[in-house]
Chain A
């Protein structure tokens, strides 16, 4: 029997039971949709989160005071061994370092003309705008003053500016942050949230003024931007040596953006696979559906099988025909599922423009391969049952 004939035969067999075939592949399609949609969602979230982090550039190294494994707490707590502005300055002179941003963060009441608002205050170095990708809506960012003795300038986030000034002009006005006066020299474009902190409800001031405002000796973090041609290991080593030389021991923690991204990527990939395997349950049920229907089909078509055998077809031929039927059902279900997924993803682009979801081609190929496999697994027993039928018995089973 030629390939063409086999496919024609299978096609006719499936068409003869149109409703049955349709329902079978519909089950399969829902399973495929569940898997591919969950994976696309997982991939979309992964992409989105990684982008959130890489917007600061990937050649970034964060130094926090205190040598402790407690992730993220280092900068907030007190320390007997502060990370000072001088530490930051010394790092900026290291070979391979492009920019250094000392950071201190807190909250403070910000007042202007009788209005007062408690907001975030970030004491930062003058390069923070370029490293953190802060876009200015008006004016300019903090100038390249001496780190120790910067002029009392402030740059306001968009929400904060709106709350204090409304639509009036803020540039050149004086605001009180804590008890000190600052002159507004810039307003930022809206940026949104990062890790739960609203960057739009934040005032940016020179870091030395921030330390004074919060009455702290120690910076919370020093962000180091290094040249792209230097490895993360090398720059970590240099920073470590430099700070150890200054402090006498390793009382700080280094985290490279690479490490953060790597562990984040790992977590997000796991989430993606977990999501996909949730959908897999439905796919398995769809596969069992094919098995069930194929078992019924072979027993119903015993007469046809007997006739084919009587007419001289071999057992492997019979087996392949029924196996083929199962695989075609699975693949057709897969195609339908992918089509449903694709249209849902198109819909999502329109509904959630912020989270672009795509169906990567390798996902499509994987789905087709998995479906073919499911078809084969589901088809093996019915097909070998059919092939093993005694032709005389099978013929006699006609009604």
Chain B
């Protein structure tokens, strides 16, 4: 029997049992669509985080003061240690050939005020390199002056939200404001950009690093951001950094290095695992659909036993009868999976329209896995009914006495 004939024969069967076919298609496509939609949320989250990190550039290395030798666990993000990481350390690291840019950071909270408006925000002391390293662009005015690399100056760059809070729609450039008890002149405003890695860049004040040292009365750096020239030299660069620090810190390499890759892969692993397990739970519904297919196939075999007997009398072999029933399941699950994938994609498209900032994306692997699980369940669960059909005695079956599916 040719493939084409088989498909036609089966579609007539399916079309005749319209209700049954529709409900089976519904269950399978429901299962597949759920897998597609749920994994698209997980994958979207992963892509969102990916995007956040890659806005940093993938050649970024973070240096935190302090370290622990605990295996596993989080890095010591609080970054407090007996020996401060200083601007001098940062300048020494800048000598390393593979480092393109270096942005030491002193961070603190301080009250920023202008006239009667005041706001307690995070204030960063850093160098002009900070802007290209973090991919920050200036919306208005200029970034920190070049001299800010090593000298204090009363200049400040404001985040967009902070500017709005303090100045409203007025021009802030060259206006003076207070940070703590010191006066600073606004030289620039950052372009509007969302939260990035937990820090709201829109609600920040950025001042020269030496000014921050004076403001907070502490030379301790919060961290150093490094941008490497060649990312493939990452391990070498890490070693060079540790060597430099050891030289300057009496033989102790008391810093923690975090590469963007390692942060990213941690998030990636967590989110991919989460996505996969959510998808797997949704895929249990395909198992339930498979059991339903088995049930209905058994009923079908018993109801169609006269036809099966006839086919055998007309010369259909047992393998052919079995393959007819298997093809039927294959067609059902295959088209159910297609419909489900289409509906899932449709839902993803709609979700993208509603929440344009969240990159929903149904990963191909999930669609393929759901489809093959659906088809696999179809084949697995119809195998037994199909074999029962193949094993029917033609004479008894034609008389409707073979018993067939259900006893």
A and B touch in the complex (CB under 8 A): yes
A37 to chain B, nearest CB (A): 9
Could you tell me how many residues of chain B have their Cβ less than 8 Å away from some Cβ of chain A? 69
Given contacts A20-B298, A292-B24, contact A282 B288 (CB under 8 A): yes
Residue on B nearest A278 in the bound complex, by CB: B281
> Is the Cβ of B222 less than 8 Å from the Cβ of A77?
yes
Which residues of B209-228 have CB atoms within 8 Å of chain A's CB atoms?
212, 215-218, 220, 222
Partner of B82, one of A24, A214, A220: A214
> Is the Cβ of A26 less than 8 Å from the Cβ of B291?
yes
> Is the Cβ of B291 less than 8 Å from the Cβ of A289?
yes
> Is the Cβ of A66 less than 8 Å from the Cβ of B120?
yes
**Contact of B175 with A by CB under 8 A:** no
Q: What does the 1/0 interface line of B342-359 toward A look like (CB < 8 Å)?
A: 000000000000000000
> Is the Cβ of B79 less than 8 Å from the Cβ of A76?
yes
**Contact of B104 with A by CB under 8 A:** no
> Is the Cβ of B81 less than 8 Å from the Cβ of A106?
yes
> Is the Cβ of B27 less than 8 Å from the Cβ of A289?
yes
> Is the Cβ of B76 less than 8 Å from the Cβ of A107?
yes
A65 to chain B, nearest CB (A): 7
**Contact of B165 with A by CB under 8 A:** no
> Is the Cβ of A120 less than 8 Å from the Cβ of B76?
yes
**Contact of A288 with B by CB under 8 A:** yes
> Is the Cβ of B80 less than 8 Å from the Cβ of A214?
yes
**Contact of B180 with A by CB under 8 A:** yes
A383 to chain B, nearest CB (A): 15
**Contact of A23 with B by CB under 8 A:** yes
B275 to chain A, nearest CB (A): 12
> Is the Cβ of B218 less than 8 Å from the Cβ of A78?
yes
B227 to chain A, nearest CB (A): 23
Residue on B nearest A159 in the bound complex, by CB: B70
B165 to chain A, nearest CB (A): 13
When chains A and B are docked, how far (Å) is the Cα of A81 from the Cα of B181?
A: 11
Given contacts A66-B120, A107-B68, contact A76 B78 (CB under 8 A): yes
> Is the Cβ of A77 less than 8 Å from the Cβ of B80?
no
When chains A and B are docked, how far (Å) is the Cα of A389 from the Cα of B287?
A: 34
> Is the Cβ of B284 less than 8 Å from the Cβ of A34?
yes
Q: What does the 1/0 interface line of A285-296 toward B look like (CB < 8 Å)?
A: 110110111011
**Contact of A109 with B by CB under 8 A:** yes
A82 to chain B, nearest CB (A): 9
> Is the Cβ of A289 less than 8 Å from the Cβ of B295?
yes
> Is the Cβ of A68 less than 8 Å from the Cβ of B82?
no
Contact residues in B for A163 (Cβ distance below 8 Å): 69
Given contacts A67-B120, A106-B66, A109-B254, contact A196 B74 (CB under 8 A): yes
> Is the Cβ of A251 less than 8 Å from the Cβ of B111?
yes
> Is the Cβ of B120 less than 8 Å from the Cβ of A68?
yes
**Contact of B7 with A by CB under 8 A:** no
> Is the Cβ of A17 less than 8 Å from the Cβ of B406?
yes
Partner of B200, one of A70, A278, A289: A70
Residue on B nearest A193 in the bound complex, by CB: B73
**Contact of B338 with A by CB under 8 A:** no
> Is the Cβ of A78 less than 8 Å from the Cβ of B23?
no
Contact residues in A for B70 (Cβ distance below 8 Å): 119-120, 159, 198, 201
> Is the Cβ of A215 less than 8 Å from the Cβ of B82?
yes
Partner of B296, one of A120, A215, A251, A296: A296
When chains A and B are docked, how far (Å) is the Cα of A106 from the Cα of B80?
A: 4
**Contact of A102 with B by CB under 8 A:** no
Q: What does the 1/0 interface line of A30-73 toward B look like (CB < 8 Å)?
A: 11001000100000000000000000000000000111101001
What does DSSP make chain A's interface, helix, strand, loop or mixed? mixed
**Contact of B122 with A by CB under 8 A:** yes
Partner of B294, one of A23, A177, A179: A23
Given contacts A196-B73, A214-B82, contact A80 B292 (CB under 8 A): no
Contact residues in A for B111 (Cβ distance below 8 Å): 67, 80-81, 249, 251
Which residues of A189-204 have CB atoms within 8 Å of chain B's CB atoms?
193, 195-198, 201
When chains A and B are docked, how far (Å) is the Cα of A31 from the Cα of B76?
A: 44
Partner of A79, one of B24, B34, B69, B110: B110
Residue on B nearest A17 in the bound complex, by CB: B406
Given contacts A80-B216, A289-B295, contact A216 B80 (CB under 8 A): yes
**Contact of A12 with B by CB under 8 A:** no
Partner of B295, one of A20, A201, A214: A20
Contact residues in B for A293 (Cβ distance below 8 Å): 292, 295-296, 299
Q: What does the 1/0 interface line of A8-22 toward B look like (CB < 8 Å)?
A: 000000000111100
Q: Give chain A's interface residues, CB within 8 Å of chain B.
A: 17-20, 23-24, 26-27, 30-31, 34, 38, 65-68, 70, 73-81, 104-109, 117-120, 159, 163, 177-179, 193, 195-198, 201, 213-217, 220, 249, 251, 275, 278-279, 281-282, 284-286, 288-289, 291-293, 295-296, 300, 399
15 additional contacts, CB 8 Å, given A77-B109, A118-B69, A289-B295? Answer: A30-B284, A38-B281, A77-B107, A105-B78, A106-B66, A214-B81, A216-B80, A216-B218, A220-B78, A285-B31, A285-B285, A288-B27, A289-B27, A293-B295, A300-B303
Report 21 cross-chain contacts, Cβ distance below 8 Å, ordered by A residue. Answer: A20-B405, A27-B292, A68-B121, A68-B122, A70-B122, A77-B122, A78-B109, A79-B110, A80-B110, A106-B79, A108-B66, A177-B82, A217-B217, A278-B281, A281-B284, A285-B27, A285-B30, A288-B27, A292-B19, A296-B20, A300-B303
The 7 closest A-B pairs by CB, nearest first: A78-B108, A106-B80, A66-B109, A196-B74, A178-B82, A107-B66, A78-B216
